[in-house]
Amino acid sequence: MPPSVAPPVSSPSPSTSRRRTSASVVLRSVLEHGPVARSTIARLTGLSPASVTDYCSRFTELGLIRESELPRRSQGVGRPHVPVDLDATRFVVGGVHVAVPYTTVALLDLRGRVVAVRELRHGRDGRGDRDGRNERADGADAHAVLARAADALAALLARAPRLRCLGVGFAAGGWVDRDSGTVVEHPLLGWHEVPVRDVLGARTGLPVHVDGHARALVNAERLFGRARGSRSVLQLFVGNVVDAAFATNDEVHHGPRSQAGAIAHLPVPGGTEPCACGRTGCLQAELSERTLCRRARRAGIVEGVNPMHVVAAAAAGDPVAARLLVERAGAVGRAVRLLLDVLNPETVVVTEVGVLHREDCLAALREGVGDDRAASVLPSSFPDSVLAVAGGSVALDVLYRDPLAASPEAI
Ligand SMILES: [Zn+2]
């Protein structure tokens, strides 16, 4: 029987829910402060020392935490307080992220660090090159993509026989419904009502959790990134798909059927790009990587649809490539401003290729936002692994919300 992270119980009794919340609070405290003494956890969380000790014993039995090797001495007093810390050596989660041109498959440890990763380009033989010339996601047949992702995950796990996989997280852009585990609509991939949780679950034998990638990245920032501790966070993802997610007090807003965050057709001030919806200057049409690459191709800077080639050209001194990236970052900033005015989050995290790699793009982003709120806008905490982290974080969020559901019998 595979190890499991049970799916959230739909209507927990008040006592179950309280226990779950306390368990989550204690494990999050170890994640954020470890190595940390149990007495410190009690002080930080307001839980009783006896209750913290009890949770820590259960997490130790499960293998999620362990006593740290170096005891810390409390100040001035001789008695050592043996701190506890996450045990990041035993468990991983799988992460699957499906983008328009390729799938990212990864293993993440309990700290959200990528321990293994593979990219699989969509296509008939799966070995097409990453710079493919086609803009359409040819060969992105849903069942074939998911089958190859499951096989790649199995191969990564086979190479790490000492690591046990607690579950798989799946993230993608478009409209993704967490509760039903379905990609409802992803027009760029041509996916419609794809039961990802069932398909990946059957193929891997592991529990699978599914969410939209902007929401997945909000959770990653809350758990492992710079937005940790922020009371409200907005994540804006600007790739081929452009979407957003918003969390307050540790809860990501989903709305009915998880439709929140669909901002593809929000009008960008000053936008000129025609959109498939018939209007001009829609956020996704204006800011997508496809539009960036089309403009770069027209200027003779790159071939193909890989935005990293535009970043590389700018880094090599091409002024037009740099200008295209800076203009795009400025437009992203103006879009962020609109969202700031609506939602007023404490922190905004932007995942956009120029902003992640260039100071001038980050400056243009903040200028587009405006001086008064520029300081609350941050680039993603995961510049080199954002897609792998998005997939894995869907499963890690479930673990940190309900750690005791990781059954010791199964493990
Ligand atoms: Zn539109």
User: How many angstroms does the Cα of residue 241 sit away from the middle of ligand 1?
Assistant: 12
- Are 249 and 339 contained in the same domain? yes
Q: How far is the CA of 400 from the centre of ligand 1 (A)?
A: 37
Query: How remote is the CA of residue 403 from the centroid of ligand 1, in Å?
Result: 41
Assess if residue 151 is contained within a domain.
Answer: yes
- Within 8 A by CB and 6+ apart from 138, the residues are 122, 123
Distance from the CA of 92 to the center of ligand 1, in angstroms?
Answer: 39
From ligand 1's centre to the CA of 264, what distance in Å?
Answer: 7
Is the residue at 270 inside a domain? yes
Residues 80 and 178 in one domain: no
153 and 44 assigned to the same domain? no
CA dihedral 259, 261, 267, 268 (to 10 degrees): -160
* Confidence at residue 347, expressed as pLDDT on a 0 to 100 scale: 95
Angle value at C-alpha 201, between 194 and 99, nearest 5 degrees? 50
* Same-domain pairing of 238 and 353: yes
Q: Compute the distance from residue 284 Cα to the ligand 1 centre, in Å.
A: 7
Q: Are residues 76 and 176 in the same domain?
A: no
pTM: 0.86
Question: How many structural domains comprise the chain?
Answer: 3
Residues 154 and 266 in one domain: no
Q: Which of 59, 86, 113 is the last residue of a domain?
A: 86
Domain-located, residue 353: yes
Looking at residue 284, which CATH number applies to its domain? 3.30.420.40
Let me know: does 260 contact 252? Beta carbons within 8 Å. Answer: no
Examine the domain organization and report whether 315 and 400 are in the same domain.
no
- pLDDT tens digits for 76-97? 554 457 899 999 899 999 999 9
- Reported confidence tier of residue 267, pLDDT bands at 50, 70, 90: confident
Res 406: pLDDT: 58
CB of 105 closer than 8 Å to CB of 118: yes
234 with 369, same domain?
yes
Domain containing 33 — which CATH number? 1.10.10.10
- The rounded Å distance from CA 286 to ligand 1 centre is 9
Report pLDDT digits (tens) over 190-206. Answer: 999 999 999 999 999 99
Q: 289 CA to middle of ligand 1, Å?
A: 15
Residues 134 and 236 in one domain: no
398 in the same domain as 262: no
* 3: in domain: no
Distance 276 CA to ligand 1 centre (A): 6
Residue 273 is given by DSSP the state -
Q: Are residues 103 and 138 in the same domain?
A: yes
Query: In whole angstroms, what is the distance from residue 171 CA to residue 209 CA?
Result: 9
Whether residues 205 and 238 fall in one domain: no
Residue 407 Cα to ligand 1 middle (Å): 46
Q: How far is the CA of 279 from the centre of ligand 1 (A)?
A: 5
Residues of the domain holding 36: 14-86
**Could you tell me the distance, in angstroms and rounded to a whole number, from the CA of residue 384 to the centre of ligand 1?**
30
In a domain, 9, yes or no: no
